[in-house]
């Protein structure tokens, strides 16, 4: 195995079978956060199997060869810890937060879930209904549903535009064999990243993982060939689409494709996003809420994935004022795209972003997520100080070119969800 010290308290080990293990020692806490990222999720699904990754994430909690569903639930909670999972577009992740002394137990439970689920048909029939209720819950929350509609509009024919949860039709037809095939194809060490942060030692983490057979075998037996997501086509930009729904508000999302996680321009996008709609002092909040009184919720967002990114704006407003809100947001887009940021405005925006980066990494869980992100998204390791220096070094020209490209109002795909008549 090859172990490298990435930073004073951060180490990374790559085993011959391909599994990558990263850890950060945080000696000032009495806890540890640990997670396993499987590099297979909704971006890897064919349309008829939409939602299979998310359903499998649910199903592993229904039981393993060693534990019932209740025993899984009790294993860490009975010690004051927590166990959770999520499915994104690029990965399916399973993580735990425990007292430092319970790290071996957490690793054992997570390994059991990821490597040894029973995936029984009888359990599937029950859990399928749970996921269908989750789909219902999103449809009852238009401020969530509008984001699904936005991704579908940007990439109508690519898995990045599919619903992570799947649809009622696809979830209703998925079988235990579908889950077992996905598990066999994707849930093996060479397709996993394990990250931990907290009061722990890297060598001790490796010892525990070795006992759990994470380093057995070699890359020749199981490979990640065929697991890559299809290349992402250019997004469908510049159109407005309206979806009817009987709601008290009209929910609107502006969105466009941007850059992948590993692209250095993401820092300029973060800075611009903060100025645009990142808080009470942002341009959109001040214009749409404070000056015009058109909305309670108005904010910008940026998301970065392995192959692309998304940036945009959400607003919820009365149907009769929706057109006015959209027009005002377009004006703010045009102003930012035309002028960029410079002088004091740029300096303040960079300071805000630096502060957010530092504050976001105060806890072990956030540090764990950051470590996993480097191999998951194909980005070389970068220390927090290096990230802050990158933000600090952004020049007005760098920010202006990103603003002109990605904040141009004509580039935005706009989705409306609400009553058809104002």
Cα separation, 215 vs 270, in Å, equals 38
Token representation of residue 20: 């990558």
Question: Do residues 341 and 399 make contact, with C-beta atoms less than 8 angstroms apart?
Answer: yes
Burial 238-263 (b: 16+ CB within 10 A, else e): eeeeeeeeebebbbbbbbbbbbbbeb
Helix/strand/coil for 86: strand
Catalytic annotation, pick one of 24, 45, 57, 208: 57
Phi/psi at 311 (5° precision): -135, 145
57 an active-site residue? yes
Instruction: Render 274-328 in DSSP notation, one character per residue.
Output: HHHHSSTTSHHIIIIIIIT---S-EEEEEEE-SS-EEEEEEEEE-GGGHHHHHHH
Closest CA to 84 of 120, 119, 48, 109: 109
CA 161 vs CA 79, 103, 140, 249: distances in Å: 40, 37, 20, 24
In whole angstroms, what separates CA 7 from the centre of its chain? 25
Instruction: Count the neighbouring beta carbons within 10 Å of the beta carbon of residue 381.
Output: 16
Q: Which residues pair with 33 in a beta bridge?
A: 97, 197
Beta strand spans in 246-308 (E): 250-257, 298-304
Cα separation, 294 vs 331, in Å, equals 15
Helix 176-186, helix 121-139: angle, nearest 10: 90
Phi/psi at 7 (5° precision): -155, 180
Helices and strands (DSSP H and E) totals, the chain: 15, 12
Cite the active site residues.
Answer: 57
């Amino acid at each position: 195995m090859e172990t490298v010290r990435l930073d004073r308290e951060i180490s990374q080990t790559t085993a011959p079978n391909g599994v990558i293990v990263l850890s950060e020692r945080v000696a000032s806490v009495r806890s540890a956060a640990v997670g396993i990222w499987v590099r297979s999720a909704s971006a890897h699904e064919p349309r008829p199997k939409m939602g299979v990754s998310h359903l499998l994430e649910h199903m592993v909690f229904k039981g393993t060869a060693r534990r019932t569903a209740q025993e899984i639930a009790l294993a860490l909670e009975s010690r004051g810890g927590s166990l959770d999972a999520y499915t994104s577009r690029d990965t399916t992740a399973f993580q735990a937060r425990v007292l430092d002394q319970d790290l071996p137990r957490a690793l054992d439970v997570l390994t059991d879930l990821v490597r040894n689920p029973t995936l029984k048909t009888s359990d599937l029939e029950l859990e399928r209904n749970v996921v269908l209720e989750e789909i219902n819950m999103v449809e009852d929350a238009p401020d969530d549903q509008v984001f699904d509609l936005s991704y579908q509009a940007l990439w109508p024919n690519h898995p990045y535009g599919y619903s992570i949860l799947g649809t009622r039709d696809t979830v209703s037809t998925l079988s235990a064999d579908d889950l077992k095939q996905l598990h066999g194809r994707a849930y093996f060490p060479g397709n996993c990243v394990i990250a931990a942060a907290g009061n722990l030692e890297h060598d001790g983490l490796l010892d525990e993982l070795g006992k759990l057979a994470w380093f057995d075998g070699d890359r020749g037996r199981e490979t990640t060939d065929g697991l890559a997501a299809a290349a992402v086509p250019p997004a469908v930009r510049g159109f407005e689409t309206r979806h009817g729904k009987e709601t008290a508000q009209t929910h609107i999302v502006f969105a466009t494709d941007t850059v992948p996680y590993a692209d250095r321009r993401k820092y300029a996008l973060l800075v611009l996003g903060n100025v645009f709609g990142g808080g009470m002092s942002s341009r959109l909040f001040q214009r749409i809420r404070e000056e015009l009184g058109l909305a309670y919720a108005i904010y910008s967002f940026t998301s970065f994935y392995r192959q692309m990114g998304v940036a945009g704006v959400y607003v919820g407003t009365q149907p009769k004022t929706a057109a006015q809100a959209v027009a005002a947001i377009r004006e703010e887009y045009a102003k930012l795209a035309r002028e960029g940021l410079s002088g004091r405005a740029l300096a303040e925006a960079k300071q805000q972003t630096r502060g957010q980066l530092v504050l976001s990494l105060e806890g072990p869980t956030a540090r764990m997520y950051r470590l996993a992100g480097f191999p998951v998204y194909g980005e070389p390791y970068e220390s927090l100080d290096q990230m802050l220096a990158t933000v600090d070094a952004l020049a007005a020209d760098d920010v202006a070119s990103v603003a002109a490209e990605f904040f141009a109002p004509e580039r935005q795909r706009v989705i409306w969800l609400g009553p058809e008549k104002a």
